[in-house]
Structures are given as structure tokens and as C-alpha cells.
Amino acid sequence: MYDNMADLFSIVQTLDLLEKAYVKDSVTAEEYTPACERLIAQYKTCKNLLLHEVTDLESFMKKYSFSCPAAYNRLKIGVPATIEHGGLTEVEGKKVSQYVAEVVQYFITLMDSVKLNMVAIDEIHPQLNDLLQSMNKIKSLQEDSENFDFKSKIRQWLEITNTMKASDELNEEQKRQLLFDLEQAHNAFYRALAK
């Protein structure tokens, strides 16, 4: 148990340092993204080993008197900053129309999944992740504060699904809200493209 707690502690500390290095531009987006994804996966695996000892990360950090706000935020969202906010440079040279088609495809697939009652977290979370990642490839896309903030709604759903177990399913109220938010985001995406 203590070995697993030590592993959890080191993963959180390492992720915090990685986040700070990325913010300071000491690590490129190409180096940051796979390293962050690996640390998030390691955290989830380690946390599963400590289900009874560690109920949540915040209480674990308080109990052992350490603070890693950057890691805490990243683990709460469950995806690297390059996926949450964009910033991957490897895709900048490709055509925007291809990315728009990708985003529309992900929107439709995700909405159809919810309508077909495929609402297990291990089905929904990867689709939300893909949708947000595709949106971030469109560098010219600017969010308008007057319109529905579609990216933040997708991020919120990523946070919600990240806190749940893979085997959990969205309840009827969550399904209805997710579908509503996706339809609103889809419409706002089209409005933003028209500007």
C-alpha cells in the first residue's frame, strides 16, 4: 500500500513539474502531449490500486501536506493541455476544411451515440476527447463570447466523465443535458465558422 502511495505521490509531483515546464516553454507540445497522457494513465492505474486508501486526490494531498495545483487541475480534466486548449503544431500545415469535416463527424457520431443510449463512460469520454482535439486543430476558429461557448462545454463534459468510472453510465438527466449541450455546441460551431 505504501509503495502504491509513493508511486501516486511521484506521479502527481512529476505531472506538476511537466505542466510548469510546458507553461514555461521548456518542453515542446510534441514532447509534452505523450508524456502527459502517459502520466494521466499511470495516475488512473495507481489510483485504482488504492481505491480504499485514497478516495480523492485533494484529500490525499492535504493528508500528506503537499500542493501540486497544476497537476491537480490536469488530472481533474483528464487530458493534456494541448488537447484541452490546442497548441499542437504538427497539424498547422493541413487544410482547415478537413478539420471542419472531422469536427462535424465527431459531433454527429457523439450525438448519435447518446441518442442510441451508448452512454457508458468508456464510450463517451474518448469521443469527447476526439471532438475537442479536432476543434483545436482549427487555428482560425475564434470563440465569440456572445455565442454559446462550445469548447468550454465540451471541456466540462470531459471533466464530468473523467471523474466517473469507465463502467459507469450517464443517467437520463445527464444524457438529456449532454445531448442539449452538444446540439448547442454544434450550432455555435457553425456560427463561429461563418464569421
Q: Among residues 22, 49, 84, which one ends one of the domains?
A: 84
In the chain, the number of structural domains is 2
Res 1: pLDDT = 85
**Measured between alpha carbons, how far is 87 from 15 in angstroms, rounded to an integer?**
18
pTM assigned to the model: 0.62
Res 145: pLDDT = 46
Cell of 144: 465569440
Q: Residues with Cβ < 8 Å from 90, sequence gap 6 or more?
A: 30
The verdict on 72 and 149 lying in the same domain is: no
The verdict on 97 and 134 lying in the same domain is: yes
The verdict on 128 and 61 lying in the same domain is: no
Per-10-residue mean pLDDT of the chain, 195 residues long, equals 89 93 90 91 86 82 88 87 66 64 91 93 91 79 55 88 89 95 88 73
Res 144: pLDDT = 47
Res 17: pLDDT = 93
Q: Among residues 27, 54, 84, which one ends one of the domains?
A: 84
Res 49: pLDDT = 84
Q: What is the residue range of 73's domain?
A: 2-84
- Treating both helix axes as pointing N-terminal to C-terminal, what angle do 69-77 and 2-23 enclose, rounded to 10 degrees? 100
Res 21: pLDDT = 93
The verdict on 68 and 107 lying in the same domain is: no
Helix (H) or strand (E) holding 150: helix 150-162
- What CATH number should be reported for the domain holding residue 124? 1.20.120.1130
Are the C-beta atoms of 127 and 113 separated by less than 8 Å?
yes
